[in-house]
Structure 1
Amino acid sequence: MRILKTTLCAAACAAALTTAVQSAELRLSHQWSTKDVRHAVAEIVAKEVAAADVDLEIKIFPSKSLFKPREQYRPLSRGILDMTVFPLSYAGGQRPEFNLTLMPGLVKNHDHAARLANSPFMDALEAKMAEDDVMVLVHGYLAGGFVGKDKCIVKPADAEGQQMRAAGKSFEQMLVGAGASITSMASSEIYSAMQTGVLDGANTSSSSFVSYRIFEQVACYTPASDVALWFLYQPLLMNKSTFEALTTDQQTALLAAAEKAEAYYLQEAKKQDAASVEVFKEAGVEIAEMSQEDFAAWQALAQKTSYKAFTESVADGQRLLDLALSVD
């Protein structure tokens, strides 16, 4: 009888273990509201996987409810967190190579961003992520532009003598090279800084310009259009070991969902730029277009400032920068 009980117990335990391995719940964290495009990307993945009926559930934790915005990469790499939609440059302190994903003039427009995401440059970055047990599920870039309180900021000469807020250290270095002074702050503080005269100009994402109502405080907006200076890589990442522990069906469903989400991400990113222009126009703000010549002037300045600082401080920096710049 004892042998029979032991055998039955072993069989039951094995069945329970098999069920535990095949059925999984993944936790996905991000910092944005449920109205944000990045939340929509996460939702597409979660809903498509649920519809595939492969015993895999993705639970989304939006609005920095699980981890603080900049503190998600480390728990992801350690398997404490399963998935995140994350601006990769936030992890630049741990992996300085990732600072290339918020570098002025490296991305020209959204279609160029999509080509970068499927290039040897991105392969090299993904190899760095793999060393941290992290992989990319969904590639995605969001664009941004400039605002000026009293004048348009289109070319480097326009920034001279201006008190500017820049999104990221590399942009600060470039703007200082243009003769601007820098006041560092979160994008959520731009409005009050413009209102009180602390800032003359700023750059950030198209969506942040709208959500923080910056159009109420500025005279001119230089949006992302045919060319844009500001692009930030914000992929949906996953712990690599967690992915590899899933069943083949679960992995297949996840990759199919990611492909659908990536196509949506690209189209919505383009729409956000266009929508921001309409909002600023309705507010009576002048819209300035950056030309190819303006872009080239900024990029030439970045070569002397931001790019130079990056290659001098990152061991593999020049190779990675050359890989990025080689993508047409």
Structure 2
Amino acid sequence: MTSMKRRALLGALASSPLFTFPAFAQSSTNLKISHQFPGGTITEGDFRDRLTRMFAQEVEKRTNGALKFSIYPGSSLMKTNAQFSAMRKGALDLSLVPISYSGGEMPEVNIGLMPGLITSYEQGYKFKDAEVGRAFDDMLKAKGIQMVSWIWQAGGMASRTKPIIEPEDARGLKVRGGSREMDMILKEAGAAVVSVPSNEIYAAMQTGAMDAALTSSTSLISFRLEEVSKALTTGRGKSYWFMLEPLMMSKAVFDKLPKDQQNAIMTVGAELEAFARKSAQEDDNRVAEVYQKAGAKVADLNEATVKKWQDIARRTAWRDYAAKNENCNKLMHLAEKLV
């Protein structure tokens, strides 16, 4: 059969209503999500792990399976402090991690755990759409990070000894703050600071290397710190410790995806912010119950006490951060409009 006859026959078959070309299965892309928190299920466990599973399930559904996800809890894929840098390089797809952990690499991100800057969930969830949030988002994109879900959490102080409420209560103790700026106000209050990620607090308190630790209410529960604590100062109602712990994605990986898949990721990420806020606030209350049941003394902060810590922050951490570079100065100026 000549090539002309062969093409004519194929053309006739293709135009026949009884003829169909074989269907090819759509290939899918598998993305990895890493975080430091205990693993669970989509309905049980640390809400941050649950959020990653809800995100994965919903994005897979909306992309008809074109995007699939593997979740690695408990820093099982890579060490906690390596995740941010790995995303910037395109070596990790997504991570849910306290953004202030990367302050050594990028000082601008420490605004995400700036003492006394955010003192309520209302303020925190205005951040994203305010001028400061837009500037922060643009800066992160330029550095290789795509914000997906903006998650804010209040925090409290677990202590092996006594409740740490007023600044003077921290004097002489070894305390974990969670960011350079938080450590600055602790030092000003007379404490010695210890720097470890939240998944290493238990061991440090158990051995006595640390007397007390500031961390989110959810981490106070998930890492079972009530087992090594005699006192808790909660973040319910009032707190000078609010942390931005977002779900983030490598911009290099995000940019390679088709537009419809990018839209699915960003839409689902934004929708899950309501779940994150509700869950964090529930944990602010639940943590008090957990610690009381374990026999710890539980205390809360009032507005006057928060203002004392905030005043220390203004003259130390806020000023130091703004002096870091032009970006930090701009972000601090814009953020103060939310205070």
Change (3 A) 1:149 1:134: closer
Q: Which has more radius of gyration?
A: 2
- SS of the residue aligned with 1:118? coil
Which digits, 9 at most, give the CA deviation of each residue in 1:121-167, with x for residues without a partner? 11111111111232111110222111333332112122223332332
- Provide the C-alpha distance between the structure 2 equivalents of 1:253 and 1:84, rounded to a whole number of angstroms: 17
Aligned to 2:241: 230
* 1:320 to partner: Cα distance: 0.9
- Provide the C-alpha distance between the structure 2 equivalents of 1:94 and 1:268, rounded to a whole number of angstroms: 30
* 1:287 to partner: Cα distance: 1.7
- Provide the C-alpha distance between the structure 2 equivalents of 1:236 and 1:297, rounded to a whole number of angstroms: 32
- SS of the residue aligned with 1:65? coil
Aligned to 1:56: 66
| Matched residue type, 2:274 | A
Q: 1:72 aligns with which of 83, 91, 113?
A: 83
* 1:199 to partner: Cα distance: 4.1
Change (3 A) 1:142 1:16: farther
- Provide the C-alpha distance between the structure 2 equivalents of 1:86 and 1:261, rounded to a whole number of angstroms: 16
- SS of the residue aligned with 1:145? strand
Aligned to 2:311: 300
- SS of the residue aligned with 2:101? helix
- Provide the C-alpha distance between the structure 2 equivalents of 1:147 and 1:88, rounded to a whole number of angstroms: 21
CA contact (8 A) 1:28 1:82 kept: yes
Farther off after superposition, 288-297 or 252-261: 252-261
Farther off after superposition, 268-277 or 201-210: 201-210
- Provide the C-alpha distance between the structure 2 equivalents of 1:232 and 1:114, rounded to a whole number of angstroms: 12
Change (3 A) 1:85 1:294: same
CA contact (8 A) 1:39 1:62 kept: no
* 1:27 to partner: Cα distance: 2.6
Change (3 A) 1:65 1:286: closer
CA contact (8 A) 1:104 1:229 kept: yes
Asked if 1:320 is matched to 2:331, the reply is: yes
Aligned to 1:97: 108
Q: Which residues in structure 2 correspond to 1:174-323 (within 5 Å)?
A: 174-188=185-199, 190-191=201-202, 193-194=204-205, 197-323=208-334
For structure 2, list consecutive stretches of 5 or more residues without a partner in the other structure: 11-21, 41-45
Change (3 A) 1:40 1:213: closer
The percent identity for this pair of structures is 30
Change (3 A) 1:140 1:189: closer
- Provide the C-alpha distance between the structure 2 equivalents of 1:55 and 1:189, rounded to a whole number of angstroms: 36
- Provide the C-alpha distance between the structure 2 equivalents of 1:271 and 1:242, rounded to a whole number of angstroms: 34
| Matched residue type, 1:43 | R
Change (3 A) 1:316 1:52: closer
CA contact (8 A) 1:49 1:56 kept: no
* 1:278 to partner: Cα distance: 0.6
- Provide the C-alpha distance between the structure 1 equivalents of 2:292 and 2:66, rounded to a whole number of angstroms: 45
Aligned to 1:127: 138
* 1:94 to partner: Cα distance: 2.4
TM-score (norm 1): 0.85
The size of the alignment, in residue pairs, is: 318
Aligned to 1:46: 56
Change (3 A) 1:242 1:301: same
